[in-house]
């Protein structure tokens, strides 16, 4: 997950006054993407999960910078 400017090949979603962009080709690969914020004491940050995860895992923990 990064801050980015929209590109022609991006799909744009607006939810609760926030705009999300995802590359169209990546969206076709991963399916529906869910963005959650987790604060469980030992883990805090954004967690991305998708219906068709790539990289062998079910989520991407953006607070630690590790995916898969």
What is the pLDDT at residue 19?
87
Residue that has been written with the tokens 């987790």 in this structure = 38
pLDDT at 2: 80
Residues 6+ apart with CB under 8 A from 27: 11, 33
38, HSE (Cβ side, Cα atoms, 13 Å): 18
Output the pLDDT for position 55.
72
Q: How high is the mean pLDDT in each 10-residue block of the chain (68 residues)?
A: 86 88 90 89 88 67 48
What are the structural domain ranges in the chain? 10-63
Pairing of strands 10-15, 18-23: antiparallel
Q: Which pLDDT score, from 0 to 100, does residue 54 have?
A: 81
């Amino acid at each position: 997950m990064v801050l980015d400017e929209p590109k022609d090949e991006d799909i744009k979603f607006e939810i609760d006054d926030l705009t999300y962009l995802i590359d169209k080709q990546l969206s076709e690969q991963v399916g529906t993407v869910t963005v959650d914020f987790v604060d469980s004491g030992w883990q805090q940050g954004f967690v991305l999960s998708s219906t068709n995860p790539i990289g062998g895992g079910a989520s991407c923990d953006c607070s630690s910078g590790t995916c898969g």
